[in-house]
Structure 1
């Protein structure tokens, strides 16, 4: 497939190159402008990979809900991405990153391109002074905004899957406004914005807790307040399975998420302007992949042992749990540890999903197990394998957990007792597609063949 450098250059030319390299300075650095270009490029490419995870969540959730709720869950996923983008632009980014004190940033509105970049773009001539004023920042400011914005949309996606099939559309969207504009940015500022958790030594490379557990806590709180789907739980602790309608679609969604996660974790190096950054990103990619692989394999083996059958949905959540688990510390230099971290994440999902059911919490897609439980584990793993402080990691988990439980509960309860959270029994029985959207995702089903 490839051609060796010796064949490309010829042996004589290769010898000259070897001599030249041997006599070159031990350290070569790119220019500041080149580093600026590569750093910005990394943010943008990683950002659109993470944006593609919105499609992954939509397909995963569409595959795991029943047919009568498919269009609604698709609408929720594209709508929450749109709302997250607008709210993070209006106020979220400023709360998370601008003038951060110990607990939150600026309550100012709108985040726009820097004056230096606008001056360069609008200048008749790109003078060295104008270029220097831009490249001194290290990257384009809006490339960083874009990369950070797609993360907040991921946190909101976690909530939609758990609460599917019985929550009203507009109350859910109101929660997304508050989550993406305020709750997520405030707790994110504590670490990534340089706030009090960062000063305490808490470490979360790409967001096992800051993104995934945050979504998981909001989902868990909402599921408890909202209640289970009608018929999900019976007397005497009985759990009635409600299988998803389209497992091929759920599998596709998982693989899309897996792909997007390379941008999620790799882009969190936050730079690609040096050999050090490039080498570090390669390590992150490999660890991310290995952890997901281990999550799948462990979930398959455990379901075979426990249930005498291999469970596809558990394998899918095993992949996601492996990815979530490694997200807090994907920079492990011993790649075998990534297998351990991801494998434990896959095992935790297999045990957590039935435990959540026994507690009579109805999580339609298993997001609480895959994102909250695995997120907690991945954050702890940094203190165990990654050289971080276990005390600091526990502090961060508890602080963010308490913050999200309290604030989410307030928002859910206010809506429950004012506008209402849940559709009525008739709408739930009919399906939210017909009840709230007036359409069906698969209108041909049950109506016989249609002639052209």
Structure 2
């Protein structure tokens, strides 16, 4: 066995292992979102996550990967690699294309899961399935090609190591468009008086989801090296940890002194915001910069949450504040703090300008395309559940079952009596 073969084997193990860690994050998304929404919509959350993994994976295999990493066409889209066929020799890898696809496939599932949370408790499940196809096959892969597939933003020198812009800002602005088009939950923003509060159904469940996401993020960031022998892995891991801790600590202290209590949902989302913020620069910034990035990410998350409330935009799990606000800051922070090329490290303005341009393009792309897709879907399939379906709960309305059969909503439904008759037979 040659040294080259040994390195390739180690790299393959590393990439497949970290891809599995990223896929485990879907369990985190499921628990986090289920914990933040009402119990009568828990099963619907789980089914949307399964739609992300199943339909999203197949769409990315058939179409998305080719558009993202295929042979470049004038800096815009890829033209080969559909179903992993055709010329992919331009991708410089020490691992097989299969292992590389698995890692990238895990990324695309994370993007669509961001949008899922913003439209929780009121989206028509059939309409959501159509959107999953569009996001995983076209919207995300084309934007990803511009930065990671050799496209025009890559040529300009944009730096986004693991996806603060490509995944989180794009996904966050897609979530914003989806939430705006579909509208708030029934009764969320009454015509008079303050907005109603929908209490999380299970905060311990949401916290476990956050811990799973935190764990998977080490695969997300460190795995993006694509090489087990990359000397940056340890540094990437520590700045990921520091930024997440800073984001959580910042929101914990802020809510404690601002409101006289540490707000659990804010701390959960603050930690996630810190993870989002460091994702672009985890391989490029110092430990101290990571702490600052995380702290600012947490504060921006709170500010963005208040901004949504003021504009009566309903985002049940905080998808836009966590992913878009922190993702934007994390992308800009690379231009400020990168040890090579950062404004505050003597690199001048060039990188910051490129980061800003790329960020604006990706945010606009995600927002506009999602807005248009939702409008078109609504022509054939109503994107929103009916008031009756929403009141009863999407679990019963779309899946015929509840997370817990003892809930009053389930006992009052026809599905309860149908299941009782089946048991008797």
| TM-score for both structures, normalised by structure 2 | 0.90
**Shift of residue 308 of structure 1?**
1.6
1:302 and 1:350 in contact (8 A); partners too: no
Could you say if the C-alpha distance between residues 237 and 203 of structure 1 is closer, same or farther in structure 2, counting changes exceeding 3 Å? farther
Partner of 2:79: 106
1:45 alignment counterpart:
17
Q: Which has the larger radius of gyration?
A: 1
The answer to whether 1:218 aligns with 2:191 is no
Within 5 Å, which residues of 2 pair with 1:143-158? 143-158=99-114
Match of 2:293 among 318, 322, 341: 341
Paired positions, count: 396
2:315 corresponds to which of 363, 381, 394: 363
Question: In 2, are the aligned partners of 1:91 and 1:107 still within 8 Å (CA)?
Answer: no
Q: CA deviation at 1:204?
A: 0.4
- In the alignment, the residues of structure 1 paired with residue 87 and residue 331 of structure 2 have an alpha-carbon distance, to the nearest angstrom, of 34
Aligned equivalents of 2:82, 2:158: Cα separation in 1: 28
Cα distance in structure 2, aligned partners of 1:350 and 1:68: 27
CA deviations 1:70-122 (Å, max 9, x no partner) are 11111111121111111111011111001023011016631169999xxxxxx
Aligned equivalent of 2:348 = none
Alpha carbons of 1:361 and 1:137: their partners in 2 closer, same or farther (altered >3 Å)? Answer: closer
Corresponding residue for 1:249? 205
Checking the alignment, whether the CA contact within 8 Å between 1:283 and 1:333 is kept in structure 2 is no
Any gaps of 5 or more consecutive residues in structure 2? 343-350, 412-425
User: Are 2:187 and 1:231 equivalent residues in the alignment?
Assistant: yes
Q: Which residue of 2 aligns with 1:395?
A: 357
Instruction: For residues 397-447 of structure 1, give each alpha carbon's deviation from its aligned partner in whole angstroms, at most 9, with x where no partner exists.
Output: 111112122211111001223321111111111111111111111112346
Shift of 1:225: 0.6
Q: Distance in 1 between matches of 2:219 and 2:81?
A: 29
2:235 matches 1:283: yes
1:435 aligns with 2:397: yes
Over the residues paired in the alignment, what is the CA RMSD in angstroms?
1.9
CA contact (8 A) 1:53 1:260 kept: yes
Aligned to 1:235, the other structure's residue is in SS state: coil
1:237 Cα deviation from its structure 2 partner: 6.1
Q: 1:303 touches 1:350 (CA, 8 Å); kept in 2?
A: no
CA 1:436/1:188 → structure 2, altered by over 3 Å: closer, same or farther? same
Give matches, 1:49-448, under 5 Å.
49-101=21-73, 102-106=75-79, 109-111=82-84, 137-236=93-192, 238-272=194-228, 274=229, 277=230, 279-332=231-284, 334-386=286-338, 387-388=341-342, 389-446=351-408
Q: Which moved more, 1:52-61 or 1:381-390?
A: 381-390
The answer as to whether partners of 2:156 and 2:354 remain within 8 angstroms in 1 is yes
Rounded Cα–Cα distance in structure 2 between residues aligned with 1:229 and 1:346: 26
